[in-house]
Amino acid sequence: MIITSKLLDEIVAHALEDPHNEVCGVVATDPDVERALRVFRAVNVHASPMKFEIEPIELLKLNHACEELGRLGAIYHSHVRSAPYPSQTDINFAAGWLGVEWIIVGLAAGEEPDVRSYLIDGPKVREVPLEVS
């Protein structure tokens, strides 16, 4: 995915606002070139350092907002205690979102935020580049 530094900074800033709990949101993309168009914040209904979930009604509204611009191209969240690699919970949740990137902001203690993106297809996890422009 191609993403501007401004939009990527929005995602990281969201993660840093609550470094003790996972935060989450979605990214609308242009489906023709996989360019990020807008970031939409969501509420983690669990307010937990171990998992995130977006309320189904909110996710439906976010999906519609993304479709007005293009498509829902990525779901993002933070990992507050671990590296930015999909957990088994992330992999299980991704089953319903084939072709959607998973952007994870790692906030391991004492380190700068580390942002990675993945495509998840069943048990297969493949890191994909975030091209910052």
pLDDT tier, 109 (very low <50, low <70, confident <90, very high otherwise): confident
Contact indicator for 123, 88 with CB cutoff of 8 Å = no
Residue 76 to residues 26, 52, 116, Cα–Cα distance (Å): 6, 10, 10
Q: Classify residue 108 as exposed, middle or buried by CB count within 10 Å of its CB (0-12, 13-18, 19+).
A: middle
**pLDDT at residue 58, rounded to an integer:** 98
**pLDDT at residue 96, rounded to an integer:** 85
> What would the mean pLDDT of 4-14 be, rounded to a whole number?
98
> What would the mean pLDDT of 107-113 be, rounded to a whole number?
84
User: What residue segments make up the domains of the chain, in order of their start?
Assistant: 2-132
- The string of DSSP letters for the chain reads -EE-HHHHHHHHHHHHH-TTS--EEEEEEETTTTEEEEEEEE-BTT--SS---B-HHHHHHHHHHHHHHSEEEEEEEEESSS-SS--HHHHHHGGG-TT-EEEEEE--TTS--EEEEEEEETTEEEEE--EE-
Is residue 110's pLDDT more than 80?
no
pLDDT in tens, 51-106: 999 999 999 999 999 999 999 999 999 999 889 999 999 999 898 899 999 999 99
pLDDT tier, 111 (very low <50, low <70, confident <90, very high otherwise): confident
Average pLDDT, the chain: 95
Is residue 107's pLDDT more than 80?
yes
Superfamily holding 2-132: Cytidine Deaminase, domain 2 (3.40.140.10)
Is residue 121's pLDDT more than 80?
yes
Residues 6+ apart with CB under 8 A from 124: none
User: What percent of the chain shows pLDDT beyond 70?
Assistant: 99
- Residues 40, 78: Cα–Cα separation, whole Å: 14
